[in-house]
Amino acid sequence: MPKLKRIMLKLSGEALCGEDGGFGLRPETLKSISEEVAEVHSLGIELGVVIGGGNIFRGLKGSASGMDRTSADYMGMLATVINGVALQDAFEKAGVETRLISALDIRQVAEPYIRRRAMRHLEKGRVCIFVAGTGNPYFSTDTAAALRAMEIQSEVLLKATKVPGIYDKDPNEHADAKMYDQISYDDFLVQHIRVMDSTAVTLCRDNKLPIRVFSLPETGNIKRVVEGATVGTLIS
């Protein structure tokens, strides 16, 4: 039996490229993610998803190359909309009813974000895919995930990444790196761990929302988390 009833899943745009990373969308990866989400959804879990856009365009990189930061961030938001449309298509092909919900007004593609309407969709068993971040420049999609998770009263924020969890040092550079089973919000912030945006973690800390960081490429991890297994690292 699942231990959780309502969750928020944060997917990076890069996750849609598969393990190889890079840019664009891999149909095989979309299919794999959608099948796993469908399995979790079949357990009766109410599921929100926030998707990033780094596989198409990342605002910070755009501003670093001389582009106006606000313009670059809006381009990043639009990239998340493209990813959201792709996820919606994949989820519905896997038999999951969805709603694509945008912080920017793009009514031909997605419905506008209205908190009470989004919560009603979740109660009716629809997966809500939240796109366009918070709708504001200078805020990451990690922060959008934390914000939406609290607004819809999610029990946990799940951050799906390419790594198994949070380590005391870079596991790619140090063979003796050890993974934390659990770390406090304050220790995460003091150590400047880059797995997640510090604004998002601060927001979760101030509102006592636990975060679990785990590996997306390892099939079945989302289901293991909702069933109460100790997977990845818990920030609490």
**Both structure tokens of 10:** 């944060």
Can you name the residues that pair with 6 across neighbouring β-strands? 46
pLDDT band at 15 (very low <50, low <70, confident <90, very high): confident
Please count the other Cβ atoms lying within 10 Å of the Cβ belonging to residue 1. 7
Task: Give the model confidence (pLDDT) of 33-71 as tens digits.
Answer: 999 999 999 999 999 999 999 999 877 777 778 899 999
| Pairwise CA distance, residues 106 & 104, whole Å | 6
Report helix, strand or coil for 109.
coil
pLDDT of residue 21: 62
Higher pLDDT, 20 or 82: 82
Task: Give the model confidence (pLDDT) of 123-149 as tens digits.
Answer: 999 999 999 999 999 999 999 999 999
pTM: 0.94
| Pairwise CA distance, residues 106 & 71, whole Å | 17
B/e letters for 76-96, b = 16+ CB within 10 Å, e = fewer, are bbbbbbbbbbbbbebbeebeb
| Pairwise CA distance, residues 128 & 194, whole Å | 27
Residue 61: phi, psi to the nearest 5? Answer: -70, -35
Report helix, strand or coil for 140.
coil
Whose structure tokens read 């659990």? 182
| Percent with pLDDT over 70 in the chain | 98
Domains (range + CATH), the chain: 6-235 (3.40.1160.10)
149 Cβ contact partners less than 8 Å away, ≥ 6 residues apart = 8, 48, 156, 157, 204, 209
Task: Give the model confidence (pLDDT) of 81-124 as tens digits.
Answer: 999 999 999 999 999 999 999 999 999 999 999 999 999 999 99
